[in-house]
Chain A
Amino acid sequence: MSQFALATSKSPSSLPRERNDWINSTLLYLYGAAVLSAIFIPMAMLLIKSIQNSKGIYVGLANYQKYFQSTALFDSFYNSVLVSLLTAVIVVPTAFLYAYGLSRTCMRFKGIFRAGIFLPLLIPGLLKAIALIYLFGNQGIFKGVLFGGSIYGPIGIIAASILWTFPHAVLIITVSLMNADRRLYQAAEVMQASTWRAFVTVTWPACRYGLITSFFAVFVMVFTDFGIAKVIGGNFNLLATDIYKEVVGQQNFEMGAVISVILLIPAMILFIFERAAASKQASQITGRSLPLIPAVHPTRDWAYFLFCSLILLSILLIIGMAQFAALIKFWPYNLELTLSNYIFDLQGVGWVNFWNSIQMSLLAATAGTILVFLGATLIEKTRFDQFLRKFLQLSMLLPMAIPGLVLGLAYLLFVNNPNNPLGFLYGTMTILVISSITHLYTVPHLTALTALKSLSKEIEMVAQSLNTPVWRTFFRVTVPACASAILDIWLYIFLRAMTTLSAVIFLYTADTKLAAIAVIHVDETGYTAAAAAMGMLVVYACLVVRLLHYVISAIVLKKFQSWRH
């Protein structure tokens, strides 16, 4: 795991500590305490719950026994694996072709294709499901395409999951394809290797770990997701929807905890595989390779252009359909355009949910960015407390391995515990913010770490010998030098907090209901058009913030990073 190696692998155990070191250590221990109460204690409570009965008395593995005896488990488990596997099998090769088109061909409009792939990231998973229902559902436009098959169930789940995971897979694979050394291809050509042979001996070894990583990543995303299945799954049960039904439908927390553990174990194992592949990938990137400049090859370029256009058009079709759905009076009978769907005159749902989402996402993004960047700096730059730093470093990877729904349930059990001094958080916006930050923590942490590692570690040594207080180096050098990474982290947390639902579904109250949750509720009552409208509000907000981020980045980069060329 080379990318997680700490800055000083040596142990300066008895180095004299100075003021800076005491500040760092104190902050590091505070940070450790926060990590403990944000991840480890709630997860422990979840595990404990799974071996208790409803009165909180220890019952050993009785809950598990009960669950394993019902056939429902096997069905759900099988369904979850099947859906995740099929999605990954379809997504990875398609994403590879798309990424290959972006990085290795001379097709036209590459910029548009590159930007277009980010669109699905702005759309809540539920909205994709709703759009699919309009397209292929009982009254869908293209219903005939399914030959009598139903979109409600595995087909719909897989289709929506493909749309959802595709950009993630493309991003991972693009990174691995960028890691190409022109000289290797020139050497292959000089030695008269065929195109195929060059692909097998040069391209493939360089990107295979990217493919493996993306396969595991897609699998885990689908395996642990619940929103899509909730909207389009019909009676097709998955592990994730089972948890929701047990907890929300039956108030059966014990069983919810049991299924959570069963969902957690494979997710963890797959995640470890994914990290192993990702670190192998990272170790191949040397930084000394000459970038590859693709040659013009008209037949190939046009083929890729057609392929990528097809993909992009289907993405646009989905968004267009969702927007259309939000604007028409009564599908499919009255296709008149109207804005009335945006009024939300339904009980318990309204614009307030949208503003809740905005408030929650702004708080999560801002607090999360500060926490992530400070935490990564402490882990990376503290000279002491080797063990604690290594422990925290590994803990930061955990949130990615814990399904949002499982984390949400753990938080619910945590704040509901009468002995918890933090119990006052129950039902507040704060708990939604905390659970969102924790749920989304890993990716921003890795981004921050990469940015920090790109600064020479000797800079800290120089600052030290110049007798600089630690905060001065932090604000004068570290933060400005990492400005663009910090903005990226903010954007990531904001967009994901706006669109994801699994980490918050168990924690909201009537006062803190978020837009994504409102979409589900409206959809349940049958007002699909209003659900689409609520979903589209999220899309607009994400688009606006995405554009703002673009503008602000440009200004900040100009101001703080004119040194970068």
Chain B
Amino acid sequence: MSNKSSFLEVKTLRKSYGRTTVLDDVSFEIKEGEFVCFLGPSGCGKTTLLLCLAGLEQPDSGDIQKRERSLARIPPSGRDVGIVFQSYALFPNLSVKKNIAFGLENQKKSKVEVETICAQLMTLLSLNEHEEKFPSQLSGGQQQRVALARALAVSPSLLLLDEPLSALDAQVRARLRGELRDLQSRLGITTIMVTHDQEEAQSLADRIILMNQGRIEQIGTPWEIYNEPATSFVADFIGVSNIFRVRSLGAGEFRSDSLEFRCPNHDKPHNEEVKLLVRPEDIVTSHTKTIHSFAEALVCKIEFLGPLVRLHTEASNKIKIVADLPKKAFEIGAVNLGTKLWLSAEPHDIKLLRV
């Protein structure tokens, strides 16, 4: 994808409602054909950002450019976007087919053309047998597909999805997730999806834009976001994390009362306070101290999660540490409640976070 030019460019977007800042200096670029997720907790500004892109909300300052043309004075109808809402917002009194054809009729397409496009989309989204049904006669997943078909019918250059899957139950959701990704790569349409579900974002997106309180915390591929989180917020939001506040002793050594890390890859000046992240699955336990051990802790709770076993441990000074062991590495009987274990992590698994 790196060879493709910038399709959408957002520059220092700001927006506030009275005293609450919803978007604070938001800037990013999206390439043509990319699938991008705006991810973040509710109230982080991700939906507002999406509505700004659609022209349904107006930013206080900043600019949005599509193919190097500013969209600032262009109303929603001129922006060439398709939009799907969480509630689907289907026209309740129109049949599936008429819903899909609605936008096409505005484009003054001939009857034959409308018919062809509708038929194609209905086949593509397996809605053929529901053509004459009304939205209220469809299941949630089917309604979602109709909304998608309606948005795609006018062949927009940008598809905006506002939490399209969150009203569905878990199974339908997982299946539609796959269908959505297939469809997107087949049509090659640039897509932005808003979600608060980190798993959904990770499985779908080429890149994730992670937001918190109106600011962008990090932009990156799902791999980067998980493995190289920039801030403790990102680390906490994506997956399970152990975050430690420690003081640098220089030469890659870090220490707090009960913790002791040696990671020569992070060189920080003496006495600086830093945050370190260790993912639970990167922790190795042993009964004796090893070269990479960073703490000795008591096992307080053992959770069996199928493929892995999660140990909740506590080092002195009540520091809680979560360690995940693969099922195979866990010996029944050897580790019990109250067992004392040494926890170790290799230097490259210890991440330095931006404070």
- Determine the distance from Cα of A459 to Cα of B85 in the docked complex, in whole angstroms: 9
Q: Does A562 contact B (CB under 8 A)?
A: yes
Residues of A within 8 A of B17 (CB): 10-11
Asked whether, in the complex, the Cβ of A459 is within 8 Å of the Cβ of B93, the reply is no
Asked whether, in the complex, the Cβ of B93 is within 8 Å of the Cβ of A560, the reply is yes
Known: A456-B87, A465-B83, A563-B134. A18 touches B94 (CB 8 A): no
Chain A residue nearest in CB terms to B15: A10
Residues of A within 8 A of B107 (CB): 467
Residues of A within 8 A of B58 (CB): 12-16
Question: For chains A and B in complex, what number of residue pairs have CB atoms within 8 angstroms?
Answer: 103
The stretch from B49-57, B188-196, B287-295 touching chain A is B49-57
Q: Does A55 contact B (CB under 8 A)?
A: no
B54, B73, B81, B89, most chain A CB atoms within 10 A: B89
Q: Does A466 contact B (CB under 8 A)?
A: yes
- Determine the distance from Cα of A472 to Cα of B79 in the docked complex, in whole angstroms: 20
Partner of B85 from the list A18, A462, A477 (CB cut-off 8 Å) is: A462
Q: What are the interface flags for B269-298 relative to A under an 8 Å C-beta threshold, 1 for contact and 0 otherwise?
A: 000000000000000000000000000000
Those of B134-157 within 8 Å (CB) of chain A: 134-137, 150-151, 154
- Determine the distance from Cα of A467 to Cα of B102 in the docked complex, in whole angstroms: 10
Residues of A within 8 A of B306 (CB): none
Q: Does B103 contact A (CB under 8 A)?
A: yes
Residues of A within 8 A of B54 (CB): 461, 465
Asked whether, in the complex, the Cβ of A18 is within 8 Å of the Cβ of B78, the reply is yes
Q: Does A476 contact B (CB under 8 A)?
A: yes
Q: Does B164 contact A (CB under 8 A)?
A: no
Chain A residue nearest in CB terms to B103: A466
Asked whether, in the complex, the Cβ of B74 is within 8 Å of the Cβ of A16, the reply is yes
Chain B residue nearest in CB terms to A383: B56
- Residues of B in contact, count (CB < 8 Å): 36
Q: Does A153 contact B (CB under 8 A)?
A: no
- Determine the distance from Cα of A560 to Cα of B56 in the docked complex, in whole angstroms: 30
Those of A440-484 within 8 Å (CB) of chain B: 455-456, 458-459, 461-469, 472, 476-477, 480-481
Asked whether, in the complex, the Cβ of A456 is within 8 Å of the Cβ of B93, the reply is no
Residues of A within 8 A of B91 (CB): 459, 476-477, 481
- Determine the distance from Cα of A307 to Cα of B267 in the docked complex, in whole angstroms: 88
Q: Does A66 contact B (CB under 8 A)?
A: no
Those of B73-100 within 8 Å (CB) of chain A: 73-79, 81-83, 85, 87, 89-94
Those of B33-90 within 8 Å (CB) of chain A: 54-58, 72-79, 81-83, 85, 87, 89-90
Chain A residue nearest in CB terms to B135: A563
Residues of B within 8 A of A359 (CB): none
Asked whether, in the complex, the Cβ of B81 is within 8 Å of the Cβ of A465, the reply is yes
Partner of A12 from the list B57, B74, B102 (CB cut-off 8 Å) is: B57
Q: Does A561 contact B (CB under 8 A)?
A: yes
Asked whether, in the complex, the Cβ of A459 is within 8 Å of the Cβ of B77, the reply is no
Residues of A within 8 A of B85 (CB): 456, 458, 461-462
Chain B residue nearest in CB terms to A460: B89
Q: Does A288 contact B (CB under 8 A)?
A: no
Chain A residue nearest in CB terms to B102: A466
Shortest beta-carbon distance, A402 to chain B, in Å?
A: 35
Q: Does B171 contact A (CB under 8 A)?
A: no
Residues of A within 8 A of B150 (CB): 462, 466
Chain A residue nearest in CB terms to B154: A466
- Determine the distance from Cα of A464 to Cα of B74 in the docked complex, in whole angstroms: 12
- Determine the distance from Cα of A124 to Cα of B93 in the docked complex, in whole angstroms: 38
Partner of A17 from the list B75, B79, B90 (CB cut-off 8 Å) is: B75
Asked whether, in the complex, the Cβ of A563 is within 8 Å of the Cβ of B89, the reply is no
Residues of B within 8 A of A560 (CB): 93
| Among all A-B residue pairs, the 9 with the closest Cβ atoms | A563-B134, A18-B75, A466-B103, A458-B89, A467-B77, A15-B58, A458-B85, A480-B93, A464-B76
22 A-B pairs whose Cβ atoms sit less than 8 Å apart in the complex: A15-B75, A16-B74, A456-B87, A461-B54, A461-B56, A461-B89, A464-B76, A465-B55, A465-B76, A465-B77, A465-B81, A466-B77, A467-B78, A467-B154, A468-B102, A469-B106, A476-B91, A477-B92, A481-B92, A561-B93, A564-B92, A564-B136
Known: A462-B83, A565-B136. 18 other contacts (CB 8 A): A10-B57, A12-B58, A15-B57, A15-B75, A16-B58, A16-B72, A16-B74, A456-B89, A459-B90, A461-B83, A464-B75, A465-B56, A467-B106, A468-B103, A477-B91, A560-B93, A562-B134, A564-B136
